[in-house]
Structure 1
Amino acid sequence: MDSFSGIHPFLLVLAAAGLDRWIGDPRWCLHPVVVMGWWITQLRSFAERWFSHSPLGLRLAGCCITLLLVLGSGGCGWWLEQRSHDLPWVLGWPLLLVALASALAGRSLEQAVQAVLEALKNETELGPARQALSWIVGRDTQDLSRQEILRAAAETASENAVDGLFAPLFWMLIGAALWPYGGPGPLALAWGFKAASTLDSMLGYRRGTLRWLGTAGARLDDLLVWLPCRLVTVSLPLAQPSTARRALPLARRALLEGKPDPSPNAGVSQAIYAQCLGIQLGGVNRYGDQSTCKPLLAAGAQAPEPADVERLLALSRRLEGLWLLVALLVGAAVHR
């Protein structure tokens, strides 16, 4: 960290979070996730060409793809961290800052959800809202009612707040703690996590060859999100005065309600937001010709309205600030 003239790595993470909230993901700039996605597509094509009729071969290929992507992405981040020492701080610090901000999806998620809410203002034509929603959810959207659109927007905002914001932020902060001692820093761990997350989003489906090829990436993503998801479950009620005193009971209820969900993390993350906001989530989702019944979360509460989805986004912003504040205080105490 000498090349940064004493700038603390936790401050670097704080600045990256601020940059993400300020500009999000610029469309004119090549995003690291796009590069990861390109490699996944190429490696998937190779694996399916060689092992299309062998479930065992596909599983082994999926493990190799996962190792290559995660270790390669994390290694690139670590290399950039090391090379930053050789650059003047006016070059090294901004380079790491932009790279770190690319691993956070706070503003981009918020913009995508708000686009759905904006389209819903035209209550006589739901087509634009369904189209905007289709960019951020996996379920079928063409026949959704206004209330189903709002539920889907709230569910994806709560689930992706953990996957796209708090999980990478957690691994950044772990890296910030390790970096001064020669370990992998915030960028190495953040890009390693993003590789696992991208693998899960592209290959983590239980259909066709992906039933075997995508297993390793999906399991690794579940593992890496597990602890950040539980930390969100415990800390989210603390981000608003109305639920701060009931943090532990709400967390226990969310863990119980989210447990029946096939995902070890998605149901829990949705459940804690539902409990904190007092809105009912869950129900029947349609995927192609199949319908999936998800457990009801905060059953009996009111259905989400646009104002509730906006409150959900604001709650994520407050929790992000709370995490960063606690991390800075802990970092300052350790490095006094």
Structure 2
Amino acid sequence: MTLPFSGVDSFTGIHPFLLVIAAASLDRLVGDPRWCLHPVVVMGWWINRLRRLAERLAGERPWALRLAGAVITVLLVGSSGAAGWLLEQWALGKVLPDTRPIALTLLLLALASALAGRSLEQAVRAVLRALPSPESAQSEALSASRTALSWIVGRDTRELSSPEIVRAAAETASENAVDGLFAPLFWMLLGALIWAVGYQAAPGPLALAWGFKAASTLDSMLGYRQGLLRWLGTAGARLDDLLVWLPCRLVALTLPLAAGLGPQRSWALLQSARRDGAPDPSPNAGLSQAIYAHVLQIQLGGTNRYGDQCKRKPLLAAGCSPPTATTVQAMLRLSQRLELLWLVVGLGLGWVVATVAGTQ
């Protein structure tokens, strides 16, 4: 494989951003092949084992579980970031320079693995494709759609009707667009900027992206407010909230622009989304769903069942039409446009950095 940036001696100026663009393009092209071991799977393997060890040592003591959760968080996020940094230093030629082409290829693949643009689209579209059509068997199609949905949401899907399935697909597409795509992309672009200005010994795109993915995986596996996880998962959940906070707000700010709306209208939608999303227990999920709801003019939120519990989520863009399969598809296309916008802005930033460096 010959990479467009493989001939550069130093990743400064525009080159780190070209690397991120190549990774995003690879993610859109191939997604996450099932035959390939994914870094998140490795993270999950370690989380399960560390969790069992922590629960055995801490018992049911809240303070001990909180401490154990903090230790797990530091170990997993720190080791994930360090692994990314070591691969970056190899790709930069600081280690085993004769094997740098191999390292560059692995770096590109690792960066693409941190993005979930294509895999999220595939999962959501699988739910939509399984929805009942006029000529299909309603019960069989509903069962298939519920099963596909259960792979990507935490709510109970066994009794959901077709409109409820579509709403769940829309809500997970909007929330996970931030968690799975734009938040890691933000940290990649920040790492690219650090490299672009010449700090190549510092953590770069992969180190920051893998550190974020570790926190996100911790939150998805331990961030439940029940049982021992009320204390054990606190540190990972709080760190994930912190790392998603800024990317989520940048999505809320730029999504209306990606939809072709003017600055005044975009600002008004942002304020509406902030108001609607504020009652959500998550500092980020409510806002991310709300901005998609307002831009597409669909109502999200309502009652969800989790096991034997029903939770009522705040209504977002109340009074608008409920989502349809067509509007969910539009949501996925809008995420594609926003990703392109972010990459173009990143490339422009790299050009500015390269220009300024060239005039000094």
TM norm structure 2: 0.91
Q: Which piece of structure 1 moves more, 151-160 or 45-54?
A: 45-54
- 1:15-26 superposed matches below 5 A: 15-26=22-33
Structure 2 counterpart of 1:162 = 178
Give the gaps of 5 or more residues in structure 1: none
Q: Find the counterpart in structure 2 of residue 127 from structure 1.
A: 143
Match of 1:48? 55
Report the CA distance shift for 1:242/1:177 in structure 2 as closer, same or farther (over 3 A).
closer
Letter in 2 for 1:64: V
CA distance in structure 1 between the partners assigned to 2:6 and 2:147 by the alignment:
49
Offset, 1:52: 1.8
Deviation at 1:244, TM superposition (A): 5.6
Per the TM alignment, residue 208 of structure 1 is displaced from its structure 2 partner at its CA by 0.8
Q: Deviations over 1:277-307 (max 9, x none)?
A: 0000000000011110100000000000100
- 5 Å-filtered alignment, 1:99-248, equals 99-122=110-133, 124-125=138-139, 126-179=142-195, 180-182=198-200, 183-242=202-261, 245-248=264-267
How far is 1:42 from its partner?
A: 0.4
- C-alpha distance in 2 between matches for 1:155 and 1:222: 18
1:70 positional shift: 0.3
Q: Percent identity?
A: 66
Instruction: Give the deviation of 1:83 after TM superposition.
Output: 1.2
Aligned residue identity for 1:255: R
Match of 2:358 in 1: none
Corresponding residue for residue 4 of structure 1: 8
CA deviation map 1:28-80 (0-9, x unaligned): 11000000000000000000011122110000000000000000000000000
* Secondary structure in 1 matching 2:301: strand
Q: Tell me if structure 1 keeps the 8 A contact 2:43–2:217.
A: yes
| Matched AA of 1:155 | E
| Deviating more after overlay: 86-95 vs 42-51 | 86-95
Aligned residue in 1 for 2:90? 83
**Among residues 28, 40, 44, which one is paired with 1:37 in the alignment?**
44
Which is worse superposed, 306-315 or 1-10? 1-10
2:107 to 96, 102, 115: 96
| 2:265 is equivalent to residue 265 of structure 1 | no
- Report the secondary structure of 1:282's partner residue: strand
Question: For 1:256-287, what per-residue CA distance to the aligned partner results, in whole angstroms no more than 9, with x for missing partners?
Answer: 11010000000000000000000000000000
CA contact (8 A) 2:27 2:115 kept: yes
Matched residues in 2 for 1:310 and 1:32: separation?
28
Q: How far apart are 1:331 and its partner, in Å?
A: 1.1
Which residue of 2 is the match for residue 66 of structure 1?
73
User: Residue 243 of structure 1: CA displacement?
Assistant: 5.9
Q: Is the partner of 1:143 in helix, strand or coil? A: coil
**Greater Cα shift, 163-172 or 92-101:** 92-101
Q: Tell me, what secondary structure is at the counterpart of 1:170?
A: helix
1:293 corresponding residue in structure 2 = 312
Alignment length (residue pairs): 336
Cα RMSD (Å): 1.4
Whole-Å separation in 1 of the counterparts to 2:33 and 2:118:
11
Conserved 8 A contact 1:4-1:89: no
Unaligned runs of at least 5 residues, structure 2: 356-360
| SS of residue matched to 1:283 | strand
8 Å Cα contact 1:243/1:276 also seen in 2: no
Structure 2 CA distance, aligned partners of 1:243 and 1:198?
36
TM-score, with length taken from structure 1 = 0.97
Give the Cα–Cα distance (whole angstroms) in 2 for the partners of residues 313 and 48 of structure 1.
40
- 2:326, 2:352 → 1: CA distance? 39
Q: Greater CA deviation, 193-202 or 171-180?
A: 171-180
Q: Deviations over 1:178-228 (max 9, x none)?
A: 123132100000000000000000000011110000000000000000000
Letter in 1 for 2:43: M
